[in-house]
Structure formats: structure tokens, C-alpha cells
Structure 1
């Protein structure tokens, strides 16, 4: 992690996050993101899946709908604006992308080509660590192109990771999920116990929410450490449980 930032000093950079300036609590309910490009891409994805199903393509409708809904919550709902104010909201936003939307879409759509499990695990974990380091994170909030690079790389690496989990042998996939849980949990712990605020874009945006930058940062670390990491653990336990059930079924038939 980078050196601590002096929360009492001036904030030198002019942050221009994609979803606009951080809202106050009274403003939040009205801060929907109606970017026609984002809405159009979500509608195009939904329409493309509907056409795929009408033509007899395989899919699990509820999972795909849930994945698209998670993307809409991330980028269209007031969570987008809230993530400009609170680092904890940003981490919740990223958790929705990588641990909810990505696996729902991967398991809802037909299987993709098999990808190397070790490589996708390494890339996914490294991407999560990279964008939650103070320097790259601050850069991502400096202009829209950097913001979308952050989002695309996080979501893309998560799609690749969950695709490799889906196609790998159950025990190997469970091992990759546990490793990801431990490494993302470690990052969450480091953020939680950093002791001083590290994220310059939020030094002046948390007080309207009755949080100091440090308290907001600690909450963000806890979100990554517990619920986000828990998603990987639950998936690992499901895979192990299914593997044991399949083994029992095979033994009973033998």
C-alpha cells in the first residue's frame, strides 16, 4: 500500500469521477445515472440474450436477469453517485461487479472456451489489488477514460475467472476460489487496519455522511474482507458439496 495521505492538508487534485461529485444524503435519491450509452449497452445485452433464447440457445434466465440487474444497480442506480462520495460505496460497487454480476452471467450463459484456471485467478486477484491501491484508484477518478478502464478490467478479469471456475474440475476450482477469498480478504484487512486515510479522492467527501475518511476506509475494508470474500467461499463450498454428492452417486451405482 502507498504512503498515508494527510487528511488535514489540501487536496491538490481536482477529482472528476464519472458519476459526478459526491452527493449529500438529501440529494442521493435523485442521483440516477441516465447515461444513454450505459443504458443502451444494458438494453442491448438484455435484447441480445432474449434473441438468443428465442432461437433455442441455452441459458438460465433468472441468473442472467440477476447479473444484468446487478450491473444496473452498479452503474445506473444512485449507488454510482454514492461511490463518488464514499470509498465504502465504491468497494460495494466493485463487489457487485466481480462477485455478483460476473458469476451470475457466467453461470447463466452457455459455457465459454476453457481458460487456464491459475492464470485467470492470478489476473483477477492482481486486478483487484491494483485498482484498490491508492495511486491507481485516484487516477481512475481523475477522468472518465481511466474510470472505465478500471471497471472494464475488474469486470473482464472476473468474467474470465468465473468462466475458468465453471469449466475446471470442482476441487481445483474450489481451491482457486479459496485462494481468491484469502487474497482479497488480505487486501480488505490491510485497508481496514491502515490507520490513516489513504484515498485522496474521498478526503473531503465523507463528512456529509457523518463519516471521517478513515471510518469510511475501514468500512470499505470490512466490506471487502467479509461479504465480498464470503461470496468466493460460498461458491467453493457449493462446488465441493456437489463434487462429494456426485462421488456418492457414482459409488452407489458401482
Structure 2
């Protein structure tokens, strides 16, 4: 293993092996145990735990009414909690603390949000279960609220595969422009907005491909847009990896504390975006292409209407 790869591996391992390594910022294992490196930002904690509580209560109520595993299936529950756990790891654990000091860790955090957590949550389709967590008299008004606010038309546009792919791409590239990225490093609000835009645009992107029009058309379009996304995210990763100059000197300023030069930290971050994240998009594209080829008729038409448990 190369020295940079070994160094980043050691740095990340300290999150799970208490007192295994230390840096100028303190023993990360000790910070893990004491909670000093865990996120305490209520803008992150409240939505994350609020969604978990709503899904849990809604699932229990729905299964009491419809029967265990009906209304929301067991695999959907597994997808939601897997995606939620990845979100919690990325946003609450010391990985976030480390990401403020090491560019590679920051990139891992972003890819967990966009390439792992987002598709799992979309597959879970948690809206129905969360709706059941509300009092019965609130459910109808909540369902009708987007239409009353005039958002239904806008959603029908931005949820198209092409539009969702472009929005996700713009969010990714815009936040990686040097001037904008530097703002993230000095402003907690900008950092929070970056994570919100990454997660929301990724949820929109994966929903358009897995749950929206692309699914009804047979997943062929989903394959194309996933392939295009793997290309442009891979391009950004390649540019970070091969660039002879630093894009974000402030982000890589503490790299030496983890045994890396600033340029090595940037190169490893680029590799994370280029290879592992690219593999996720490519694998998803190939799976959807396989489904399209094997079951063209079942994916091109909506499934028969099932019994509704919305009320």
C-alpha cells in the first residue's frame, strides 16, 4: 500500500479504533468516546431524528392496520434504516469532524450522502409510512398541500430524468468551484446548505430514475442518465486527481497532521469521487439495464393498482 493510502486508512481507522492514533487536533478515538467530535448542530439533528421517528411510528401504525409487511414492505424498511444509518454516519459521526480537517474524509462524506444514502431512501419510499405517523385528520391536507401551494406543476418538471440529472450536476459542480467551496470552509451555514443541496438533488435524481418517469418507460432512460452522471462526476474526480495545483488550499491545510501533503490529500479525494463513486453509478446503471432487458413489459407499464392504506 502506498504511503498516502496507508495514511488515510490509518486516519479513518481511528474513528472506529479508540486511542489507535492521534493528531494535532487530538486523539480521535478519545473524541469518539467522549462525544467531542460528534455533530451537535440542531439543523442536522432535528431533521434526521425527526424523519426516523416519523417513519418508525408510521410503520408500526400501518402494520397494525394492514398487517405485518403490508403497506410498507420489509425490504423497504431495511432500505430506509440502512440509508438513515449511512446519513447518520456521514453527518453526525466523527467522519464529519474529520472531513473539516481532511479533504479525503470530506469527499467520503459527500459520496455517502449522494451515492449510498440517497438511493436507499428513494427505494424505501418512506412518504407513506411517515404520513401514517400523523393524526388521521391531517393526512389528507398534507397530501394536498403541494398542489395547494402550486408546487405540483414544478415537481412534474424537475422530477423528469433530464431535469433531475441536470440539477444534481449543477449542485455538484457549483459547490466544487474554488470560491464557493472556500465559503463552505468558513461558514457553517454555507456548509449546511451544501449538504442540503447535495442530499436533496441526489434524492430528486434517484427518485426520477427509480420511481419516476424513467421507471415507467422501462429503465432505459435511467441507464443513460446514470451513465452520464458517472462520466461527469468521474471527470471532476479526474481533474482533482491529476491537477498539479491545489484547488482548495484551506481544505488541505491540515493534511500534514494525517501524514499527507496537501496535494496528496486532494489527489486521494479525487480518487474517491472518481473510482468508488463511479463504480456505484456504473453498477446501478448495469442493474437497471439488466432489469430493462429481462422484464421490458413489466417495467414499461405501471403495476396494477394495489389496496390503499392512506386513510
Return the alpha-carbon distance in structure 1 between the equivalents of residues 126 and 192 of structure 2.
Answer: 26
**2:281 equivalent in structure 1:** 232
Query: Which runs of 5 or more residues in structure 1 are unaligned?
Result: 1-22
2:53 matches 1:47: yes
Kindly tell me: are residues 92 and 175 of structure 1, through their superposed partners in 2, closer, same or farther at Cα, counting changes over 3 Å? same
Q: How does 1:1-150 map to 2 (within 5 A)?
A: 24=24, 26-29=26-29, 30=31, 31-56=37-62, 57-59=71-73, 60-109=76-125, 115-150=159-194
| TM-score normalised per structure 2 | 0.69
Return the alpha-carbon distance in structure 1 between the equivalents of residues 168 and 232 of structure 2.
Answer: 11
Kindly tell me: are residues 48 and 248 of structure 1, through their superposed partners in 2, closer, same or farther at Cα, counting changes over 3 Å? closer
**1:199 equivalent in structure 2:** 248
Check conservation: 2:249, 2:262, Cα contact below 8 A: no
Kindly tell me: are residues 150 and 249 of structure 1, through their superposed partners in 2, closer, same or farther at Cα, counting changes over 3 Å? closer
- After superposition, the CA RMSD in angstroms is 2.1
Check conservation: 1:134, 1:200, Cα contact below 8 A: no
Return the alpha-carbon distance in structure 1 between the equivalents of residues 298 and 79 of structure 2.
Answer: 27
The secondary structure found in structure 1 opposite 2:295 is helix
Q: How does 1:149-160 map to 2 (within 5 A)?
A: 149-160=193-204
**2:67 equivalent in structure 1:** none
Query: Which runs of 5 or more residues in structure 2 are unaligned?
Result: 1-22, 32-36, 63-70, 129-154, 300-311
Return the alpha-carbon distance in structure 2 between the equivalents of residues 98 and 86 of structure 1.
Answer: 19
- Alpha-carbon distance, 1:41 to partner: 2.5
The count of residues paired between Structure 1 and Structure 2 equals: 228
The secondary structure found in structure 2 opposite 1:202 is coil
Give per-residue Cα distances to partners, 1:195-218, cap 9 Å, x unaligned: 111112224211000101100000
- Alpha-carbon distance, 1:243 to partner: 1.3
Return the alpha-carbon distance in structure 2 between the equivalents of residues 218 and 37 of structure 1.
Answer: 31
Check conservation: 2:165, 2:205, Cα contact below 8 A: yes
Return the alpha-carbon distance in structure 1 between the equivalents of residues 79 and 54 of structure 2.
Answer: 15
Give per-residue Cα distances to partners, 1:53-108, cap 9 Å, x unaligned: 12324251111001110111111111001101111111111000000111110111
Which one has the largest radius of gyration?
2
The secondary structure found in structure 2 opposite 1:165 is helix
Return the alpha-carbon distance in structure 2 between the equivalents of residues 184 and 249 of structure 1.
Answer: 31
Check conservation: 2:80, 2:120, Cα contact below 8 A: yes
